[in-house]
Chain A
Amino acid sequence: MQSRVWQRFRTHRLAVAGLVTVSALLLAAILAPILAPRDPTLIETQLRFLAPFANASLPLGSDELGRDTLSRLLHGGRVSLTVGLVAMITTVLTGALVGIAAGYLGGIVDTLLMRFVDTMLCFPQVFLLLVVAAFVPPTLLSISLIIGLTSWMEVSRIVRAEILQLKEQDFVAAARALGASRRRIMFRELLPNAAAPILVAATLKVASAVLMESYISYLGYGVQPPLASWGNMLTNAQGYLDTVPWLAILPGLMITLTVMGFNFLGDGLRDALDPRLRMDP
């Protein structure tokens, strides 16, 4: 079974490219302190606005305070990916919990939870995110939690739909006949069987969380300087767009690459795990 999934995944060239990209980015983020040639917060005003490849010790140039762009990209990636992953875990935990409760318990619990989901989905996510982010003192954890808690709704719908289908199957009836408790059925029988769609949703959610972090950091409500994130590196870059465009180009490319990697990976996983849901060639 697992080898078949891997075989299907392997034939999906873009998905493999996504996996390689994501692995490389994660590795770079983990090794950032070793790989970065300089301290990302070191200010050297006599080295301002260096172009990429102009100076051997600052390979990708420097920003308006003379900080090394390469080191900031590496450390910024660490921050952006951490926020993306923690936000994804929050999203998946909340979404799966709500989805399982609504799908398995049904009745009034289902109605209330799903109406709450509908209500939350009426607000544009960036609006909701910005309002809450403006209220809470921005730390890495609070930013991740806010992103996670404003984006779990779709996951809960996916999980609920899956549970509704699963709970009619024989193995659940068998577990009930054996006297399994409700909690055991929900978390030991149903949840593992819903793992495939949850895994796909989780991968795609990292992509959207990285995007969301860059939006709110760019607007000044996310990761705060001097800590670098790809989003807040772009905040100041806009002002120098006409003279030093690479300051804006490089962080944006990193965000795009990351989001693209997770999107391709998620798409490939969906096709490999469940050919019924296949969307793309």
Chain B
Amino acid sequence: MIGFIFRRLLQAVPLVIGVSLIAFALMHLAPGGPLAVYTLNPTIQAQDIERIKIILGLDQPLHVQYVKWATGMLTGHWGFSFFGGRPVLDIILERLPATLILMGSALSVAIILGLGIGILGAVKRYSIFDTLATSGALVALSFPTFWFGLMAIFVFAINLRWLPSGGMYEFGEEGNLLSLLRHLVLPTLVLALVITATWSRYTRSAFLEVMNQDFMRTARAKGEPQSARLFRHAFPNAAKPLVALLGVELPFLFSGALVTETIFGWPGMGRLFVDSLNMKEYPILMGLMMFTALFVIFGNLLADIAIAAMDPRVRL
């Protein structure tokens, strides 16, 4: 197992390097270069820009800049924001909890619902429930997340007045758990919709595949009740592709969170990304690109290790 983890870690190294190269290249291809806020600002003199370039090391050859930047990333020096001059890593980590709360609650809701719908659909294949669930999932996958969010606000916040339309806390109630939960309902609903649809589809096909296998027939022949067959025999075998899905879906989760946070004014990383984009805050944008990509690489690593722990064949 330790050998497997070590080999899998080694495989992640080229990915990390690749991701950093793409992020670095993107920022240097940007119009106005990494200093666009200054170069596109007519009140800043050319000689000042030259001075800033030298201070930040932007006058050096690209490969030198890359190595400096990459070693900075490795040691936690992610640069400073243009506005406010605060460390980028601090700004991102400040926003991380809000995003994790949103993604965590949406993912939990989606996995529970998706597993339930998927298993039921597989057990009662071609029933009315199954047909409705599979076509419903495809309909749910067709909703633009932001529009579904707008409609949720329209119905539950504006018409029924049950829930707040945005933000994370009521003013003056920061840290109040009840207030947080009330604000969490709609964003969770919106973000969970698409993930639930994906999960129910994958759960259904994973279970259908397992249920056709010989050991399931044997279990049935032995007279085991359906619940035991499903949860003791089918579930452990169907779980592997689902754990892999957890890793693969991470980028989509981040994309969905960005859109959801923007609509509901949720103070997370996605909102930070859109705000930084509007202000041309390249250091923060670059930091967020790297942070999410590293998060995705790490998540896939964990998923693979979990799969290897579940199935000894994978470890070889």
B288's closest neighbor in chain A, by CB?
A: A127
Contacts known (A127-B289, A234-B146); A122 close to B273, Cβ less than 8 A: no
Q: Is B18 an interface residue (CB 8 A)?
A: yes
Query: Are B144 and A259 closer than 8 Å at their CB atoms?
Result: yes
CB distance from A202 to the nearest CB of B (A): 17
Contacts known (A131-B289, A248-B147); A259 close to B142, Cβ less than 8 A: yes
Query: Are A263 and B292 closer than 8 Å at their CB atoms?
Result: no
Of A22-30, A111-119, A178-186, the one contacting chain B is A111-119
Separation of A40 and B114 alpha carbons in the complex (Å): 42
For window 246-278 of chain B, which residues contact chain A by CB distance below 8 Å?
A: 251-255, 258-259, 262-263, 273-274, 277
Which residues of A lie under 8 Å from residue B288 when comparing CB positions? 127
Query: Are B142 and A215 closer than 8 Å at their CB atoms?
Result: no
Q: Is B143 an interface residue (CB 8 A)?
A: yes
Contacts known (A123-B289, A215-B144); A14 close to B135, Cβ less than 8 A: yes
Per a CB cutoff under 8 Å, which of A214, A260, A281 touches B130? A281
For window 11-25 of chain B, which residues contact chain A by CB distance below 8 Å?
A: 14-15, 18-19, 22
Separation of A14 and B29 alpha carbons in the complex (Å): 45
Q: Is B297 an interface residue (CB 8 A)?
A: yes
Query: Are B277 and A123 closer than 8 Å at their CB atoms?
Result: no
Which residues of A lie under 8 Å from residue B259 when comparing CB positions? 126, 215
Query: Are A263 and B258 closer than 8 Å at their CB atoms?
Result: no
Query: Are A248 and B146 closer than 8 Å at their CB atoms?
Result: no
Of B87-95, B148-156, B223-231, B303-311, the one contacting chain A is B148-156
Query: Are A115 and B138 closer than 8 Å at their CB atoms?
Result: no
A-contact bits for B278-316, CB 8 A (1 contact / 0 none): 001000010011001100110000000000000000000
Q: Is B237 an interface residue (CB 8 A)?
A: no
The binding surface of chain B is classed by DSSP as helix
Contacts known (A14-B135, A115-B18); A123 close to B146, Cβ less than 8 A: no
Per a CB cutoff under 8 Å, which of A119, A237, A249, A263 touches B22? A119
Which residues of A lie under 8 Å from residue B145 when comparing CB positions? 215
Q: Is A125 an interface residue (CB 8 A)?
A: yes
Query: Are B154 and A248 closer than 8 Å at their CB atoms?
Result: yes
Q: Is A134 an interface residue (CB 8 A)?
A: yes
B135's closest neighbor in chain A, by CB?
A: A14
B-contact bits for A240-260, CB 8 A (1 contact / 0 none): 011001001101100110011
CB distance from A157 to the nearest CB of B (A): 12
A-contact bits for B159-195, CB 8 A (1 contact / 0 none): 0000000000000000000000000000000000000
Which residues of A lie under 8 Å from residue B253 when comparing CB positions? 124
Which residues of B lie under 8 Å from residue A259 when comparing CB positions? 142-144
Query: Are B251 and A118 closer than 8 Å at their CB atoms?
Result: no
Q: Is B5 an interface residue (CB 8 A)?
A: no
Query: Are B126 and A215 closer than 8 Å at their CB atoms?
Result: no
Q: Is A170 an interface residue (CB 8 A)?
A: no
Which residues of B lie under 8 Å from residue A135 when comparing CB positions? 26, 29-31
Q: Is B141 an interface residue (CB 8 A)?
A: yes
Which residues of B lie under 8 Å from residue A131 when comparing CB positions? 26, 277, 285, 289
B20's closest neighbor in chain A, by CB?
A: A119
Contacts known (A260-B142, A263-B138); A234 close to B289, Cβ less than 8 A: no
Contacts known (A215-B259, A241-B158, A279-B205); A123 close to B22, Cβ less than 8 A: yes
Query: Are A245 and B138 closer than 8 Å at their CB atoms?
Result: no
CB distance from B137 to the nearest CB of A (A): 9
B-contact bits for A39-58, CB 8 A (1 contact / 0 none): 00000000000000000000
Query: Are A252 and B144 closer than 8 Å at their CB atoms?
Result: yes
Which residues of B lie under 8 Å from residue A249 when comparing CB positions? 151, 154
A204's closest neighbor in chain B, by CB?
A: B141
Q: A135-B31, A207-B142, A279-B201 are in contact. List 10 more A-B contacts (CB 8 A).
A: A115-B15, A118-B15, A124-B258, A125-B252, A126-B255, A128-B289, A219-B262, A245-B158, A248-B154, A280-B201
Interchain residue pairs with CB less than 8 A apart (21): A115-B18, A118-B18, A119-B15, A122-B251, A122-B293, A122-B297, A125-B252, A126-B255, A126-B258, A130-B274, A215-B144, A215-B146, A218-B146, A231-B144, A238-B150, A249-B151, A252-B144, A256-B144, A256-B147, A260-B138, A281-B134
The 4 closest A-B pairs by CB, nearest first: A119-B18, A252-B147, A126-B255, A260-B142
Chain B residues packing against A (C-beta within 8 Å):
14-15, 18-19, 22, 26, 29-31, 125-126, 130-131, 134-135, 138-139, 141-148, 150-151, 153-154, 158, 201, 205, 251-255, 258-259, 262-263, 273-274, 277, 280, 285, 288-289, 292-293, 296-297
